[in-house]
Amino acid sequence: MILENISSNKLFEGWHKQYTHPSSVLNCEMRFAIYLPPQANSDNPVPVMYWLSGLTCSDENFMQKAGAQRLAAELGIAIVAPDTSPRGEQVADDDKQAYDLGLGAGFYVNATQAPWNKHYQMYDYIVHELPNLIEANFPVNKQRVISGHSMGGHGALTIGLRNPSLYTSISAFSPICNPINCPWGQKAFTAYLGDDHEAWKAYDSCELLAPLSEHQPILIDQGSQDSFLQTQLKPENLSALVTNKTNYFQLNMREGYDHSYYFISSFIESHMRFHALNLGLLKK
């Protein structure tokens, strides 16, 4: 697969780079960003944290605003940040150019409905195509963790829970926890997946977590002053399901914080160390 490097920046003795590549899964050209810590080389491949961003975002938001590279360099973890949807003139978009459907709003599902199903196969891209590409071209190993924000938090939770053998731990900031019961999710799932609500459940973290007897360690941070908390995010629906489970699950309600990258940058260190601990890079 052809990779084209479009930017390179050195920071904390590692490298942040952006690449484009043709995606056979999404049927368009895609862009992603990768941060390779200074420890990464062919003799020392490092684990990867996949970061999934939220509505309207691209690969750039997290890499430019979260301040995660300092921790990644310290801990020896690569970060991969894909785009949030297929892109290009030929890719379907919402007729009204709404921010919560179409370009920038892939919701990390495999669309089954026309016209979305031609390009919007974000679940397969994140789980299969992108990691295969990363592992074939960069000094990383097959250890993965996954994290994300808002729509990307939804993606991290659902992808992680559906693939426990692929992701050692899961974390999220302000995730959409119960999309089948919120306006963002209902709008997106109706468009991408149709009216079969049973199909929606495969992309709802509450539906996925409820029947599980065990799961990976999960860390969630949520701001108390998030304007989307009550109507869209519903973390209480997820936390209510873990009362009798023995696996690690931590939901932190952060007083006064909102939905922004000010919030993410305030607590990204705890998420990076959480993943490092579960990857065996730190001692308990």
Selecting among 226, 239, 271, 275, the annotated active-site residue is 226
226 catalytically annotated: yes
Cα–Cα dist 52/244, whole Å: 29
The string of DSSP codes covering 50-78 is EEE--TT--SHHHHHHS--HHHHHHHT-E
Amino acid at 205: S
Strand partners, 251: 220
DSSP assignment, residue 16?
E
Amino acid at 96: K
Q: List Cα–Cα distances, 96 to 6, 185, 206, in angstroms.
A: 31, 18, 30
259 catalytically annotated: yes
Peptide bond before residue 164 is cis, with ω within 30 degrees of 0: no
Selecting among 23, 147, 150, 205, the annotated active-site residue is 150
Cα–Cα dist 146/207, whole Å: 19
Selecting among 215, 259, 271, 275, the annotated active-site residue is 259
At 218 the three-state DSSP class reads: strand
Residues classed as catalytic? 150, 226, 259
